[in-house]
Structures are given as structure tokens and as C-alpha cells.
Amino acid sequence: CPQCERCRCRACTAPRELPSKWLCDTCQLSCDQVVDKLSCVCCVKALFYHCCPDEDFPSEVPCACCEQTHCCKRWTAMLCVAMCLPCLCCFWPLRCMKWACTSCYDACVRPGCKC
């Protein structure tokens, strides 16, 4: 880049994700995993996986908007589960914090042009 004299190739200017770490051979600690565990979304994923074996029913993305199938069923089930697990209400604030941390990390670590 003529202004900042940094590389402008695609690899250097691509956004960087927060790093993850393998704690043992089978357990990976990532920011997404932490958000899922703190907000109890992992319980909802398990509930959808075991109670709705239909392949159309997305168990991996329970909080997806209406682009996924069975939107009303998923959100009704989430509302019912949120009565027992109020920590589900923390999912969106935690996702916003993850996004903010990822943006800060990307700004600090990205080696390429930021202009």
C-alpha cells in the first residue's frame, strides 16, 4: 500500500479469527465453545439433536433466524427452555462481546494493509 507500506495481498488483509487451543486430544477451547457453554446453548443443541432427529431440523444452529427450516418450532422450543435456563438470555450479549473481541484482535494482529 502506498500510504502505510504494508502488504495488500488477500492473505495479509483477510480478517483474523480468535485463536483456539486444544486442551487434550478431544477437547478444543475456542471462543464459540465458551459462548455456547456460558449461555447454555449446548443444552439446547443436545435437546434438538436428541428430540428432533429429522435431518431438516438444524440442531447445530438453534438461534438461526428464518433462513433455516422450522423457525417457529425452534424459537418456541428455545422460549420454553429459556424458562428453565435463564442463562440462554446471555447468548446474544456474549455473541456481541465475541464479535468485539474478534474485531480488536484482528486490528492488533493483522499484518496487512488496514487502510
pTM, rounded to two decimals: 0.74
The tens digit of pLDDT for each residue in 61-105 reads 777 777 777 778 888 888 888 899 899 889 889 999 999 998 888
Helix or strand or coil: residue 109? helix
The tens digit of pLDDT for each residue in 53-67 reads 766 666 677 777 777
Stretch 21-37: mean pLDDT: 85
Whole-angstrom Cα distance, residue 55 to residue 69? 10
Cβ atoms of residues 98 and 39 within 8 Å: no
Torsion of CA 62, 65, 68, 72, to 10 degrees: 80
Q: How many CA atoms lie within 13 A of 24 on its CB side?
A: 2
Cell reading at 25: 486430544
